């Protein structure tokens, strides 16, 4: 009887090992239905949407638990980089029993379809979402040409 239980334990151990290896193999895929937090443990970067509306781009990035002082935004031409850090501190006098939200740093960069006017960029952080409004530069906007 004990040898059979031992065999079952080994079988489940092998199944766990296979699942872990498969997770590592497919960690490049975005599986939001399996992983709820905005930061996946494998990539350590926020989920981001890039939208275009006529003469501007809009970026929305999920940054839960990160203050605006810990976020850095850099723009050069059509290159955008969002980086930052999340700091988690245990209050004095408290004992930590579980830490699922850990301190982390991240960096996310994009090549935008057109150049952006960096002087007119607007950024706001509301409810853990970073909203960026990136107006296209004058050279990137379409122009109407009249025929002489």
Rg (CA), the chain: 23
* Topology of the domain covering 40-92+101-135: Immunoglobulin-like (2.60.40)
pLDDT level of residue 130 (50, 70, 90 thresholds): very high
What pLDDT does residue 65 have?
Answer: 83
User: Strand pairing partners for 51?
Assistant: 58
The structure's pTM equals 0.64
The mean pLDDT of 5-32, rounded to a whole number, is 73
Residues 80 and 112 sit within 8 Å (Cβ to Cβ): yes
């Amino acid at each position: 009887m004990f040898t059979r239980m031992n065999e079952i334990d080994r079988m489940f151990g092998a199944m766990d090992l296979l699942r872990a290896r498969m997770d590592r193999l497919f960690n490049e895929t975005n599986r939001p239905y399996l992983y709820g937090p905005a930061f996946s443990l494998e990539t350590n970067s926020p989920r981001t949407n890039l939208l275009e509306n006529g003469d501007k781009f809009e970026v929305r990035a999920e940054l839960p638990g990160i203050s605006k002082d810990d976020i850095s935004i850099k723009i050069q031409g059509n290159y955008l980089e969002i980086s930052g850090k999340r700091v988690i501190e245990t209050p004095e006098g408290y004992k930590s029993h579980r830490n699922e939200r850990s301190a982390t740093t991240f960096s996310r960069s994009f090549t935008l379809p057109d150049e952006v006017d960096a002087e007119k960029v607007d950024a706001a952080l509301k409810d853990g979402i970073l909203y960026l409004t990136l107006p296209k530069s004058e050279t990137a906007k379409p122009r109407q040409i009249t025929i002489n």
